[in-house]
Amino acid sequence: MKYWRVVLLSFFLVTLIIHRAVAQEPLPEVLTYDTYADFVAVFPSDSVLTFEDTGAGDASYGVTGFHADGISIFATDGYLFGRANDDKNGFLYGSRAGGPSSTGAYIQIDLLDPNTNAFGAHVGAFYVRTAGEVKVTLSTGHEFSVPITGLFPFPGIDPRDSGAAAFFGVVSAEPLQWVRFEIIETDNSAPWDIAVLDNISFGYSDLFDGSGGTEPEPFCGDTVLDSGEECDDGNNMDGDGCSSDCMIEMLHGNGVLDPDEECDDGNVEDGDGCAGDCVVESGFSCHGAPSLCEANAPQNTDQRECIYAMNKYGAKLARAWNKSAYHCLKHAGKEKFHELGPGGDAESCLSADVEHRVAERQRSLLDEESDSCLRGVYQLPDFAYLGAHAVTVASDDETLGMLEDVFGDSSQLNDVVVLKHADKYGRKCQHKTYKRVRKLFDAKMKTFYKCKKHALKGEDRVTQPMDFGNTDAEGRAASRVELQTEIMACLNVDSHHRIEHARAKLEDKVDDKCTSSQMTTPMVDMFPGVCATAAASDPSSFVSCLDRVTECRACRSMNAFDGFSIDCDERDNGVADGSCS
């Protein structure tokens, strides 16, 4: 009996040891690359899928997936496309329904050649606003996180462009059977996400077999920017923007905006908005480098409604945040601490959203975007639309920024609030002034919205459409540049005097509430922000400073809402002095 017990015990121990040995077997070695240049330096493969032959528009592969020599691709929800992307390099994408968090759906690429151990692809996602994460899983058991900045579904965008997509490359010591891509997280407000893959490279690399496992010595033309090189485009030819000795050439069509160029879209073709001599063509607007040129065209009714919704509800969100902050300041000064939320003080009240104003407006903004902008591509504007996320971030950042411009660091707000029992006249000066500051900001944002609405509809124009090459019979703004210029001119005119009246009320309130000899708290202590010196000087200087603060924050909001490029530093006070950087 003891003998069998010993045998059984030995058997279980051996089994346990074998199991532990298997479970703890290390994963094969892999090398990863986050730039295309580094990847092709060690794996210069000709096996690159670019999906350029799918034709204009979408080619649906549906549940059958996509198949090519050495590769097979499918998406778990059976939704897979190839797209030529308006004559640019095409790409492949597959949807993942379910919103901005992982649902387990993925795109899988099966590598059919058993010797394949190298893989690379540009990775992005449609409808991601500014940040997201894709999980890459290898058949070897490795998992990697790839941060993505997202792609936006505008015509002509190239997923390989810098800033439009990330790159993931890997060379494995053992063969790769498949590579899987799953969207883990996005800041998308729509109920779907679309993973985008392009410029897919795959094949065999001898990096681990000893025959080619050392990286070559650096040289001009190896696609790697080495010391002493200004550029390295992978060849030794002159005339392509990067000379044979790897120095940058001043050329038309190289995608670099040189001092003598109005635009440079990376080619020397006429008719695409940026002419061969890098001059913006009539009927187009170009920006950035490589320049993205947009045909000047008025936005249709659906596109305008999307823009209106984002601006209208963005302004309402900013107003809700300002009201919430005013509520905190007012009730803290009155010493009604029960009105300030769980923390019972002004500082914690700022983030408590006690009256739920901010949360309600955030929901309204997302609902409006879903209804007015995201039900179909026909609603998406060609310009002046960056999405609800950008609007939300700007509303939060600029309203909090304005509060801190007036009162200093918000984490020290408790020390700044003037309490009723200590100085009731100072308390009124403080909270009444801030009320008028936020009213002035609201007036500027409301005027901005009205000016934009008129510009997009061609009503009450201040500038002339023909100055922008716009021949629209109704005079509707047809480009981002034209829209921005018209709005700025309209704001300066302030035809309904909305801004003028709000500024006058601020001045009256400061004169009425902040000049009492019965105040015991110095102005510089009540308003220790960027206007502290002006507050200690005289009412007129103080009001002028507060006006500049609202101008800066409103201007920055406009840029963030619509992708404008207004020089807010100069606009706030007429001088480029870093006051609104």
Question: Tell me: the pLDDT tens digits for 281-334?
Answer: 877 777 777 887 877 789 999 999 999 999 999 999 999 999 999 999 999 999
Q: For the chain, give the number of residues.
A: 581
543 pLDDT band, cuts 50/70/90, is very high
Q: Among 329, 502, 351, which Cα is nearest to 419's?
A: 329
Q: For the chain, which domains are there?
A: 30-203 (2.60.120), 225-295 (no CATH), 301-571 (no CATH)
Output the 3-class SS for 383-400.
CCCCCHHHHHHHHHHHHH
Q: Check residues 400 and 158 and name the one with the higher pLDDT.
A: 400
Residue 346 CA from chain centroid, whole number: 31
Q: pTM higher than 0.75 for the full model? A: no
pLDDT in the model for residue 491:
95
Confidence grade of residue 30 (pLDDT, cut at 50, 70, 90): confident
**More confident: 90 or 470:** 470
CB neighbour class for 310 (10 Å; exposed up to 12, middle 13-18, buried from 19): buried
Res. 493: pLDDT tops 80: yes
Query: What whole-number distance in Å separates Cα of residue 345 and Cα of residue 329?
Result: 9
Half-sphere exposure of residue 278, counting CA atoms within 13 Å on the CB side? 23
pLDDT: which is higher, 289 or 421:
421
User: What's the whole-number mean pLDDT along residues 481-493?
Assistant: 94
pLDDT at residue 4, as a whole number: 46
Burial of 153 (0-12, 13-18, 19+ CB in 10 A): exposed
Question: Which of the pair, 535 or 115, is modelled with greater confidence?
Answer: 535
Structure token digits, residue 550:
């609202």
Q: Which residue carries 């005013």 as its tokens?
A: 326
Helix (H) or strand (E) holding 552: helix 539-562
What's the mean pLDDT in 342-371? 94
- Is 207 within 8 Å of 40 (Cβ atoms)? no
**Whether pLDDT at 197 is above 60:** yes
Please state, for a pLDDT cut of 70, what percent of the chain lies above it: 81
User: What 8-state DSSP symbol labels residue 160?
Assistant: T
Q: Quick one: 465 exposed, middle or buried, by C-beta within 10 A (0-12, 13-18, 19+)?
A: buried
pLDDT score for 290: 83
Dihedral of alpha carbons 90, 94, 100, 104, sign: negative
Cα–Cα distance for residue pair 238/247, rounded to 1 Å: 10
Is cis: bond before 290, omega within 30 of 0? yes
Cβ neighbors of 178 (< 8 A, separation 6 or more) are 108, 109, 110, 111, 138, 139
Structure tokens at 532: 């502290």
pLDDT recorded at residue 28: 83
- Per-residue pLDDT band for 466 (boundaries 50, 70, 90) equals confident
User: Rounded mean pLDDT of 408-425?
Assistant: 95
Of the pLDDT bands very low, low, confident and very high (cuts 50, 70, 90), residue 552 is very high
Partner residues linked to 96 by β-bridges: 193
DSSP alpha helix (H) spans, 24-153: 36-42
Rg (CA), the chain: 30
| pLDDT at 49 (0 to 100) | 62
Residue 498 has pLDDT above 50, yes or no: yes
- In the beta sheet, which residues pair with residue 58? 83
Beta-sheet strands, E only, within 29-142? 30-33, 48-49, 58-60, 66-68, 71-75, 80-83, 91-97, 107-111, 118-126, 132-138
Give 374's Cβ-side CA count (13 Å radius).
Answer: 20
In degrees, rounded to 5, the angle at the alpha carbon of residue 140 between the alpha carbons of residues 138 and 141 is 75
